[in-house]
Structure 1
Amino acid sequence: MSETLPYVLFLAMSRNQEKHFHALKAEMPVDGVVINAKHPGWGKTARALYWVWRNRSNLPEWLSFRVDKGKLNNGAHGRWFQLGLALRIAHLMAGIFRESERRRPNILFVLNGEHYKQKAVIAWAKGEGIKVAYLELGYLPNTMVLDGKGINFANGMPRKSGFYRSYQPQGMKVDSNLVRRPPRTPVGQPISLPERYIFVPFQVYDDTQILIHSPWIKSMERLHEVLEKTVDSLRSDTVFVVKEHPTSKRSYPELHGRHPRIIYANANDTQELIEQSLAVITINSTVGIESLLLGRPVITLGNACYNIDGLVSHADNEKELMELLQDPEGLSFDDELIRHFVAWLGEAYLVPGRWPDYTPEYPARMRKRLDEILRGDQF
């Protein structure tokens, strides 16, 4: 029976991912092997070192996200540190070569895919003609994504509104109750919200969404500065309400109170902040899709997979944002397009459930998506 199952190389980045992938392997079901990137075991060391040397021109790109995070967090990022990362890649590749010689995988399975070790293994897999499946948190509550092209802006979601308009919803009910994320540190008491405001959720400053997919806003300080420069485009009775990301390691007390029309509401419930707003501005967070689900128009400032004509408004610079803010009530909001878009996400694209609490539908839908990726099905 195992010969009829796809052979999957699961690359886990932690013990928790390792447990998750072992469960998926058994329950989808698929054949394959789970390798922990931190503990890959011994393997083809000489071959791996030679492979890394031959691919040394790719190292700056593979290591860039990790190096940028080190710089942002005042951590290690210099030449000797990067040499150490390259040696860690070689150690992992030795294990990858060991397993691939035992049996060639049909597909590589990773969570996220932007870690420097993952980038190296993905490059190897693509060079060998092995498909890649990228797992990530889903864009609707209690869902996951499994995509054959990438995550976030790099994923394979269609970008033409006509695709979604032609999709016929099957009637699946989507849960619009957002998952609450407890803050890392105490945030005080909720504030009384103004009558007219635009909601602006901050994002994690060193996440791939900011470091890779945000061309003109590279920090939350810069986002606050953009709000200061554009707030006068709003009616005089309208303000920005900002909420810092609850799980970010960095907070921004120095920005609070810097401008009278930019108010911070870190203790307020995100769903309430969305529902009572005139509109939502986000760089490229999933809060944008959640806001559409809750009936609010959205302006994106970065590269988002849902930058789809008619679905959201988009600004590539301060001037374009000012023009959009002059009439928040006139922002693009197509009820029918949103309904079809959300239906396609829930019924055809996303996998319902999240590890470790899920129903049997989770591995079943995961296997269905995996098979689609293996066949090369395009949306």
Structure 2
Amino acid sequence: MANYLFLRGNRNKHFFSDVASELEEKGHTCYQLKFELGELLIPSKIKTFFVPRHITKATYPISDSELLNMKIYNITYKREMKHTDVSRKELTTYKRYMHYIDRFIEEYEIDTICMFNGYHWIDQVATYLAREKGLKTIFFEQGYFRPYTLTCDPEGINNDASLPRDKAFYQDVQVNKQRFDHHLSSPENDELRHVEGEDLTQVAFVKLVSMLGSVMRIHPNFYAHISWYEAVKYFLFKQAFKRKAVDQDPLPKEYLFIPFQVARDTQILYNSSIKSMEALVDLVYRHVQTVNEKHNRNIHLVFKEHPEDMPRNSYKKLKKRYEDDPNVLFFQKQNVNELIKKSLGVITINSTVGIEALAEFKPVITLGEAFYNIDGVVHHCSDLETLDGKIEAALYEPLNKTLITKFLYYLRFHYQLEGNLISRNARTAQNVAAHLDQVRSDLAYLRSEQNESSWSHTCKI
């Protein structure tokens, strides 16, 4: 039996507690560490510790430079978005929490650490400790076939995922056509067909209490990118956006669809050389012009803003710069699936929209690092100055539908788990716990057969 440690959690604060409860019914032991005052509003079914109560002046022996070299979102955000650096006081806070987590791991004989996303500083220092001690890690995130799947990976999310990148691997995948046709974008489990949406008011209230906790110095401010002003602005925008009408501009006859991404997201900060949506628009516009002139075409560009980014970036100057060009359209609220279906193809940095486009058998060009940068599946543009050539290839070369189908099948039915990470439901917790339990059983069997297959390989089969 295993000893699991659950750190933090996503916006569905019940998720880790529910999964842990299911694991304990299977005989495992689970612990949960909570770090924010707002988390105490959510009852837990397992043994839980509120870490700020236990923090002392003792620090883990790690250098500042080692911390600064980690993929810690707070550090990267301050450096790249705020153009400031992290203070020595903040780094000392990291070391103090790291010391507590290290001692906790030893005292409770933890062998598996579960985290959400993985780029928060709590997650990064815990991952460091796990690697030092030879422990297993599990990273959770929303899935690629939303809202019915979630990611559960031993190595990380997005470009850090354990998914194979070898074309030959996917060529050997066997596809159940009926399963692919009926359940690629719908759940096989009926209990997940009518999951409730996110309660944004509850999420906002929990976050408000946590922000009060940092003001009262009960715990540090865990998020560099959230101020009181930004939090209120975000909440009001999300409420208003629900009532916003769909954009009515007609779609062009021929266009490429380019989805915006959250400018301060980890996908941009860690997996892209394009650091702003303005740079994305300018790049694509320049190269599509080249293609239009070369082939005497009139391909338009349709851009859609990301709803999570709109409260923070208006892009008014960008839109004004292109307002007199009839070949460029900007949407805020529009059906993404319709934009994909009617397009000639999709150009994305590394968005999940790329997966949605592949599911519609549309050519996809990626400009950043992505786990689906697989030869024959997408056209990956590693040298941005060759984008016009990639656009030509996407427009004029036939799609490898067989390989795309095999890739999507493996991603959906072998790699992803059925479940909804945003809304609370029992089936999600049961599916995750059953998967983790099965992986551990498979690993134990392989070891008994003296087959030293890695946890990474076992977890994704």
Say if 2:279 is the partner of 1:222: yes
The answer on whether the counterparts of 2:254 and 2:298 sit within 8 Å (CA) in structure 1 is: yes
Say if 2:430 is the partner of 1:363: yes
The answer on whether the counterparts of 2:257 and 2:339 sit within 8 Å (CA) in structure 1 is: yes
Cα offset, 1:331, TM superposition: 4.4
- Work out the CA distance in 1 between the residues paired with 2:343 and 2:303: 11
Cα offset, 1:229, TM superposition: 1.7
Determine which of 295, 308, 314 is the counterpart of 1:251.
314
Which shows bigger deviation, 132-141 or 255-264?
Answer: 255-264
Superposition pairs of residues 1-379 of structure 1, within 5 angstroms: 4=1, 6-13=2-9, 16=11, 18-29=13-24, 30-38=28-36, 39-43=50-54, 45=56, 48-49=58-59, 51=60, 53-62=61-70, 65-71=73-79, 73-74=81-82, 77-78=84-85, 81-141=86-146, 142-170=148-176, 171-172=178-179, 173-176=182-185, 184=238, 186=241, 189-214=247-272, 216-235=273-292, 236-248=297-309, 249-259=312-322, 260=325, 261-326=327-392, 328-331=394-397, 333-355=399-421, 356-358=423-425, 360=427, 362-369=429-436, 371-372=438-439, 375=443, 376=455, 378=457
- Work out the CA distance in 1 between the residues paired with 2:71 and 2:165: 29
> TM-score, length-normalised on structure 1?
0.87
Which shows bigger deviation, 317-326 or 339-348?
Answer: 317-326
State, as a whole percentage, how many aligned pairs show the same letter: 28
The answer on whether the counterparts of 1:145 and 1:350 sit within 8 Å (CA) in structure 2 is: yes
Cα offset, 1:301, TM superposition: 0.4
| 1:363 aligned partner, one-letter code | Q
Cα-Cα RMSD = 2.8
- Work out the CA distance in 1 between the residues paired with 2:76 and 2:52: 29
Cα offset, 1:94, TM superposition: 4.1
Cα offset, 1:298, TM superposition: 0.4
| 2:319 aligned partner, one-letter code | H
- Work out the CA distance in 2 between the residues paired with 1:126 and 1:198: 43
The SS at the match of 1:62 is: coil
Distance 1:88 1:333, change over 3 A: farther
- Work out the CA distance in 2 between the residues paired with 1:315 and 1:137: 26
The SS at the match of 2:137 is: strand
- Work out the CA distance in 1 between the residues paired with 2:71 and 2:354: 29
| 1:336 aligned partner, one-letter code | T
Between the two proteins, the alignment pairs up a number of residues equal to: 367
The answer on whether the counterparts of 1:230 and 1:318 sit within 8 Å (CA) in structure 2 is: no
| 2:157 aligned partner, one-letter code | I
The SS at the match of 2:118 is: coil
Cα offset, 1:286, TM superposition: 0.9
Distance 1:125 1:95, change over 3 A: same
Cα offset, 1:198, TM superposition: 0.2
Gaps of 5+ in 2: 37-49, 188-194, 201-236, 444-454
- Work out the CA distance in 2 between the residues paired with 1:197 and 1:281: 11
The answer on whether the counterparts of 2:347 and 2:365 sit within 8 Å (CA) in structure 1 is: yes
The SS at the match of 1:281 is: strand
- Work out the CA distance in 1 between the residues paired with 2:345 and 2:186: 18
| 1:174 aligned partner, one-letter code | H
Cα offset, 1:25, TM superposition: 0.3
The answer on whether the counterparts of 1:279 and 1:296 sit within 8 Å (CA) in structure 2 is: yes
| 2:400 aligned partner, one-letter code | D
Cα offset, 1:221, TM superposition: 1.3
- Work out the CA distance in 2 between the residues paired with 1:340 and 1:232: 34
| 1:368 aligned partner, one-letter code | H
The SS at the match of 2:183 is: coil
The answer on whether the counterparts of 1:43 and 1:94 sit within 8 Å (CA) in structure 2 is: no
Cα offset, 1:96, TM superposition: 1.6
Q: What do the CA deviations read for 1:173-195 (whole angstroms, capped 9, x no partner)?
A: 33437999997465663310000
In structure 1, the residue matched to 2:233 is none
Gaps of 5+ in 1: none
The answer on whether the counterparts of 1:190 and 1:267 sit within 8 Å (CA) in structure 2 is: no
The answer on whether the counterparts of 1:44 and 1:97 sit within 8 Å (CA) in structure 2 is: no
Cα offset, 1:82, TM superposition: 2.8
- Work out the CA distance in 2 between the residues paired with 1:113 and 1:373: 21
Cα offset, 1:68, TM superposition: 3.1
The answer on whether the counterparts of 1:202 and 1:242 sit within 8 Å (CA) in structure 2 is: yes
- Work out the CA distance in 2 between the residues paired with 1:58 and 1:199: 41
Cα offset, 1:160, TM superposition: 1.1
Cα offset, 1:112, TM superposition: 0.8
The answer on whether the counterparts of 2:55 and 2:97 sit within 8 Å (CA) in structure 1 is: no
The SS at the match of 2:87 is: helix
Distance 1:308 1:358, change over 3 A: farther
The answer on whether the counterparts of 2:255 and 2:302 sit within 8 Å (CA) in structure 1 is: yes
- Work out the CA distance in 1 between the residues paired with 2:430 and 2:90: 34
The answer on whether the counterparts of 1:44 and 1:98 sit within 8 Å (CA) in structure 2 is: no
The answer on whether the counterparts of 1:310 and 1:332 sit within 8 Å (CA) in structure 2 is: no
Cα offset, 1:135, TM superposition: 0.8
